[in-house]
Structure 1
């Protein structure tokens, strides 16, 4: 086994053991009343997490709410027990400095990832938008697959630049399909066109034929 993955696993194992020790110490120090308060905090966190997830545009809001609820509850319990255990074993000052350092690292990482994602979104949105000429070299079957594929991508996309690029790309594909076979395109629309139906089943033609009839 390579050295780096082995070291990473060992480090993770040590962190888990340390966290278990801190959580156990925190649970003992809190006592019955403290654990009840922790449980109530977990319930509140779970309710808030489920509410936020339910209002999102997730494909399955109920499943997303349940997933967010248990994650929020577990995270709240773990954080409170770890903080309590840290205060007991290391003191309040050391625990506060450790929490501040961890939060700083997480915020810096989040900022870097957000900036990278924004740059990538701008590049992706620009490349997706195009100038409409990309459709000329595709067959009708390729254009149909592009419509179905981009439908799935649009359902998953959250960044506005990416969504805008996908919408424009889909419109260009539809315009090209209509240009090549207007009657077939109308048949697709009248047949109940949906985001996951392939227009190539109704539209015929190819790039060469389309160029000749344009």
Structure 2
């Protein structure tokens, strides 16, 4: 997503300026009648495309989607044509720049990018073979992995991993885990001082 409202505001300001410029260029180049015909064609095209896209949705949602697409196309489509007609390649660059920097598109690309960047689940060692120190260290490291996870699937994988660590800690030292929790255990905390000193825990 955009890192600040300032960036989003700047994009909308540029879009409004480019749209107004494009519409004025269209009227100046083809006259009011030509601009009207272009707006009408853009609206009809938007209705056809939007009807196909929202045909399977709820009727009220579909009508709203078609209406938004029609209004946007009636303004943005002719404005883009006016910019390209008036400035040629420069107009193409303006239209492409505003398109690829649109907040919705940027958010979508970033979401997909971070999902792809999530590390694939790795084969984990059997927790029963870890020492107390190794198990507690794995618990603390898993918190950092959870913080770094970008997708729901990656977070779920780490949560399941942390549950395995916690279950093993409880199996070894139920009293120690209970004392740790009673002391206000943090998700990133170290349970070793509580479970490592439990002489009554069961180990393999």
TM-score scaled by structure 1?
Answer: 0.47
Higher percent of residues as helix:
1
TM-score scaled by structure 2?
Answer: 0.49
